[in-house]
Amino acid sequence: MTWTSLYYRAQRFLDYTFTYFVLTFVAILCLYPLWWMFITGLKTDETAFIGLGAIPPHPHWENFYIAWTKGHFGMYFFNSVFYTVVVVFFVVLFSSLAAYAFARLEFPYRRFFYTLLIASMMIPVPGAFIALYVLIDKLGLINTRLGYILPLINAGLPFGIFLLKTFFDKLPRDLEDAARIDGCSRLGIWWHVALPLARPALAVVIIFNTLNVWNEYLLAMLILQDKAKMPLMRGLMVFRGPHSADYALLMAATTITVIPVILVYILMQRHIIKGVTEGALTGI
């Protein structure tokens, strides 16, 4: 072994050690606050800030139970599940119907309507929530579940239509032609042929809308005042109150809201990361 090759080996070793060191440091920085949240949820209000990273000697698992029942997080949780399921269902239904029509069917002003729907994804309207509030008020839907669900369905449509249409455009038409020859109607083709083929794209739409609805706060704050109708994020802010809160219980509650997200993420991370990158990079 010559000195030069040894030199290169040493350089390579240092290089990789440094890389792993940096990456691991950042990874710990990402995970630590979540770990801290979890273990603080096992403490009491008095001991919430004692200790940095170890599970407390007497973990108060009952905190989760207290937050779930007395903190109403069980109720908020089921509200969130309800909103998420309903919104995602209708986003998938409406956007897949529309995307299929935009990709395959002929009707007047097709391009115009497509551009209109997609443009809303590109144009930022930060004040729109004022008008949305006014509209919901006018429709008499303030403090109703419907008034919260409808704007959220609309919010999910442009991305869903865009993603599904680009997916349908890439599909070969042969299968659909075969189905048509066999006497399948347009609706039948959409249901029996297009939707099953679009499963990967549908997964992306479902996951993204699930995360969006689960994490939504601003609309919930504007529209829902009744505790019994609030989703989790709104419930968290109500529970914290203006100043006083039991910190350990608060962290137990946030842990409850985070666990489903982390589970979904870990199960679906391939789809999620693919969706982010494809959704963004096809825009170039």
Residues numbered 166 to 185 that lie near another protein (CB under 8 A) are none
Q: H helices then E strands: how many in the chain? A: 13, 0
**Rg of the chain (C-alpha set):** 25
Q: How far is the CB of 6 from another protein (least distance, A)?
A: 20
CB 180 within 8 A of CB 218: no
Alpha carbon distance 90, 103 (integer Å): 20
Q: How far is the CB of 96 from another protein (least distance, A)?
A: 9
- Which of 10, 14, 85, 131 forms a contact with another protein (CB under 8 A)? 131
Question: Of 1 and 232, which CB lies nearer to another protein in the complex structure?
Answer: 232
Helix (H) or strand (E) holding 44: none
Using CB under 8 A as the binding rule, whether residue 87 contacts another protein is answered as no
Cα 227 from chain centre: 23
Near another protein in 53-72, by CB under 8 A:
none
Question: Of 1 and 14, which CB lies nearer to another protein in the complex structure?
Answer: 14
- Which of 6, 10, 14, 23 forms a contact with another protein (CB under 8 A)? 23
Which segment (2-10, 57-65, 81-89, 134-142) binds another protein by CB under 8 A?
Answer: 134-142
Using CB under 8 A as the binding rule, whether residue 205 contacts another protein is answered as no
Question: Of 101 and 229, which CB lies nearer to another protein in the complex structure?
Answer: 101
Question: Which residue, chain included where needed, has tokens 């982390």?
Answer: 262
Alpha carbon distance 96, 205 (integer Å): 10
Q: How far is the CB of 20 from another protein (least distance, A)?
A: 7
| All residues at 6 or more sequence positions from 162 whose CB lies less than 8 Å from its CB, including other chains | 99, 118, 121
Question: Of 213 and 229, which CB lies nearer to another protein in the complex structure?
Answer: 213
Alpha carbon distance 150, 135 (integer Å): 11
Question: Of 229 and 256, which CB lies nearer to another protein in the complex structure?
Answer: 256
